[in-house]
Structure 1
């Protein structure tokens, strides 16, 4: 009842979590669509903020780079232009740069809640426009009487300025045009004034450069938007994974609680189940053997024998269920001691030989000599070996053979192998027979049915000893069950110590040869 309750609760939890996940996905989709429809840029509102923030951080990162570039231009132009004129241009550039830098710092520190992105974008566009005018004023300086080829320096400088402003302003397309178009327009206007073809060519190249950098700026903007989308998807995926992990942990905890409750229930039912069964077995044996007097009706004696046989079968089943439940509940304590594995296996073979003889089976054994003792629970290992031998005898047809081997493993441990020539187990059914109440299809058809708990108990007891159970089988060739114990459970035999003695002083003791001598053998 408790198990069903936990199972139904876990199923309801999983269904509710699935529905909640679907509702969250629909809610996110609707919210995103509403934000895009209500936003003039056609993007999510958080993307607009992130792009503006990246714009501000980019401007802050160029705090010293822009003045350094302007100072280099001022120093070079000083050779052609007057000092007052170029210093005035440098001051205008610095003033526009500091104004934009101040707005970027204030935006970075402004709280997200209640921020007006449209107003901030307008401020950034206006600041870039002023900065573009300041850079463009380089083309408007009076350069009468300067040497030739100064226009080439202006052309190269303007291209670098346009490229620099494209990199700084690409996250706000409006600011990109506000910062670069005035510079390109001023250069084109100045170069179109003379009637020389070289100036026409440079003006045309300036317009082409403006188009190229505009396309490049849009590509950078698209890349940043894509990056933000990927990051948002990653964050949503992380949240969903965390929620799924929480649901999985909760479901696993409930399943473990249900399994533990089942195991505890069965483990505590040992006395309640065995007491009435012992009474049934005892009274049915008294009736079957006619201890208190003869039974006149022969059918009653047969019924008593059937009751006794059924009670023994039920008691064996209960014992196996309780053993497995105690192991799962952690209430199976190992009473470890030094055991001789070949002697224990040989003793189990003697116990099973009567059943094998009744079926016409032959049991052969082969043990390696000189095996040291194992540190293990004798009762548990005896149960393991008896289960393997019982399975081999049960599923081997009349006239078959069961072979038993014990010896060293390649890793320095010890093993016991039980092989039969029964019907075998299909490869896809081996995991099934290792589960509780699992049975192979061909084995069920060709032999008496069992409870399906023998091999799971063997596997559980071997795991408690740090060993393992390996099952190999081929159809119509037989089955091979191997249990292996790790090297850590093999007891190393210490070499015998030779006795020593200390000679005592006396009148006939002779010279002192040391503190002790080895005794001659």
Structure 2
């Protein structure tokens, strides 16, 4: 498995202990999902009534224009100006409906008032229907054939369409409006028994039923749209609350992390002062500078004190380094250094420990590697940490190989491979996180703080480099530290500026 490092020095890779965080956010989102799955209230009387009133008032001019056009056609067809008389009640009924709509719009619409206004507006539609019943009673004795029946049928069909489109937000508006003219047509058909009257009655009855069905479907569709909109608004509100909670939790976590880093930095300085004294005096006692220690047990105790103090000082130094990195106060002292020389020095430093465990260290080094622009102390810490881990977890009689060479992109790398027990794939993110230790490290007698690899990642990130870890259980582990091509140095001509005269300049390749 190949794992890269992020350029952020304080967010290393994965912390599997985060599962308990942001529980409030998860709970809010889960409750919203459960509420949406169990159904949402379908009572949108106020919204539907507001939409109906807006539609009614916006189309106020349609009905008067239609009535005038129908009356003009009637006069042209019958040659009788008395046909205009039925327009008066229809226009009056329409004016009453408009006044009711304006009055309803001015009032604050509540759930109870919406139900009341629905009944009032349905009565207004019934009043309009009675006026259309007067139109259905009209007759023409001078018209020949079925022309007048066709005229009435066409007018009523268009009127039904207009009402259906304008009042589909008001349930039962179509049957309330056109029940009276339908009754008139039925009675007329029964009395006259003319085929034209029967056909007209049948057509209008079917039209009323059909448009009632259509308006009901449109009403239900709008009801669903409103329900979905309401659910979406509720979900957005819940997500905004969850986002606010998450932002607040992140802010507190950042403050706590900064406070932790400052505390660790301060305590590390305070602890190193007495530790240096302990190490110094124990070393003096072990060397018997001030005189012999006659009791061998005391000599053994002083060695234990010095060894334990040195181990504790190393742990404190690691904590201090990580705290400085997280606090953004880790500064690089960059200069021209050789990765090859640093790697050889570090191999020599761990050679003694490796021989104690009968571990062989082999090196494969690319010849004539140029220098790199880096912090020598930091790069030495990186390679020494990786080599120390390899020696720590490689069993007796194992092998460690060190490679230093070119990357495919023109950079330089240091790769360290061991044949130790390896790391389980699911534990790799854990060992790469701060204070994280795998199961093998926990069982090992040489436990540390779990800060070595996070410090390595952070230092390489400071150098714009990369860190990779590849491991297989029972096969071993390989770690690779990479510096980018821009840090590889090549010689350039000297700059002619006076302050820099005589200096040898380097640039990134």
TM-score between both structures, scaled by the size of structure 2: 0.81
Residue in structure 1 matched with residue 142 of structure 2 by the alignment: 145
Task: For residue 412 of structure 1, report the CA deviation from its aligned partner.
Answer: 4.5
**Is the alpha carbon distance of 1:471 and 1:17 closer, same or farther for their aligned partners in structure 2, counting shifts above 3 Å?**
closer
Provide the aligned length of Structure 1 versus Structure 2: 471
Residue in structure 1 matched with residue 245 of structure 2 by the alignment: 247
Matched, 1:215 2:213: yes
Residue in structure 1 matched with residue 506 of structure 2 by the alignment: none
Matched, 1:264 2:262: yes
Taking the aligned partners of 1:180 and 1:12, their CA distance within structure 2 comes to 63
Task: For residue 106 of structure 1, report the CA deviation from its aligned partner.
Answer: 4.2
Q: Which has the higher contact order (CA 8 A, sep 6+)?
A: 2
**Is the alpha carbon distance of 1:87 and 1:225 closer, same or farther for their aligned partners in structure 2, counting shifts above 3 Å?**
same
Residue in structure 2 matched with residue 120 of structure 1 by the alignment: 117
Matched residue of 2:193: which SS?
coil
Residues 461-500 of structure 1: CA distance to partner in whole angstroms, max 9, x if unpaired?
A: 223333332211112211011223345x43564665999x
**Is the alpha carbon distance of 1:250 and 1:447 closer, same or farther for their aligned partners in structure 2, counting shifts above 3 Å?**
same
Residues 176-221 of structure 1: CA distance to partner in whole angstroms, max 9, x if unpaired?
A: 4322323433443444442133432432332233223223322222
Taking the aligned partners of 1:272 and 1:472, their CA distance within structure 2 comes to 38
Matched, 1:56 2:53: yes
Taking the aligned partners of 1:180 and 1:333, their CA distance within structure 2 comes to 87
Matched residue of 2:105: which SS?
helix
- Structure 2 residue runs without a partner (length 5+): 1-19, 497-509
Taking the aligned partners of 2:255 and 2:447, their CA distance within structure 1 comes to 32
Matched residue of 2:413: which SS?
strand
| Partner of residue 303 from structure 2, selected from 302, 305, 316 | 305
**Is the alpha carbon distance of 1:390 and 1:97 closer, same or farther for their aligned partners in structure 2, counting shifts above 3 Å?**
same
Residue in structure 1 matched with residue 12 of structure 2 by the alignment: none
Residue in structure 2 matched with residue 81 of structure 1 by the alignment: 78
**Is the alpha carbon distance of 1:101 and 1:466 closer, same or farther for their aligned partners in structure 2, counting shifts above 3 Å?**
farther
| Partner of residue 133 from structure 1, selected from 130, 133, 155 | 130
Task: For residue 382 of structure 1, report the CA deviation from its aligned partner.
Answer: 1.9
Say whether the 8 Å CA contact 1:339–1:375 is kept in structure 2: yes
Taking the aligned partners of 2:371 and 2:248, their CA distance within structure 1 comes to 45
Say whether the 8 Å CA contact 2:360–2:397 is kept in structure 1: yes
Task: For residue 267 of structure 1, report the CA deviation from its aligned partner.
Answer: 0.8
- Structure 1 residue runs without a partner (length 5+): 1-10, 34-42, 500-521
Matched residue of 1:116: which SS?
helix
Residue in structure 2 matched with residue 157 of structure 1 by the alignment: 155
Say whether the 8 Å CA contact 1:165–1:180 is kept in structure 2: no
Task: For residue 386 of structure 1, report the CA deviation from its aligned partner.
Answer: 1.2
Task: For residue 288 of structure 1, report the CA deviation from its aligned partner.
Answer: 0.8
Say whether the 8 Å CA contact 1:166–1:180 is kept in structure 2: no
TM-score between both structures, scaled by the size of structure 1: 0.80
**Is the alpha carbon distance of 1:482 and 1:132 closer, same or farther for their aligned partners in structure 2, counting shifts above 3 Å?**
farther
Say whether the 8 Å CA contact 2:45–2:111 is kept in structure 1: no
Taking the aligned partners of 1:92 and 1:454, their CA distance within structure 2 comes to 93
Task: For residue 166 of structure 1, report the CA deviation from its aligned partner.
Answer: 2.3
Task: For residue 459 of structure 1, report the CA deviation from its aligned partner.
Answer: 1.9
Matched residue of 1:269: which SS?
helix
Residues 407-445 of structure 1: CA distance to partner in whole angstroms, max 9, x if unpaired?
A: 343444443221111111111111121123322323554
**Is the alpha carbon distance of 1:446 and 1:300 closer, same or farther for their aligned partners in structure 2, counting shifts above 3 Å?**
closer
Say whether the 8 Å CA contact 1:80–1:147 is kept in structure 2: no
Say whether the 8 Å CA contact 2:25–2:243 is kept in structure 1: no
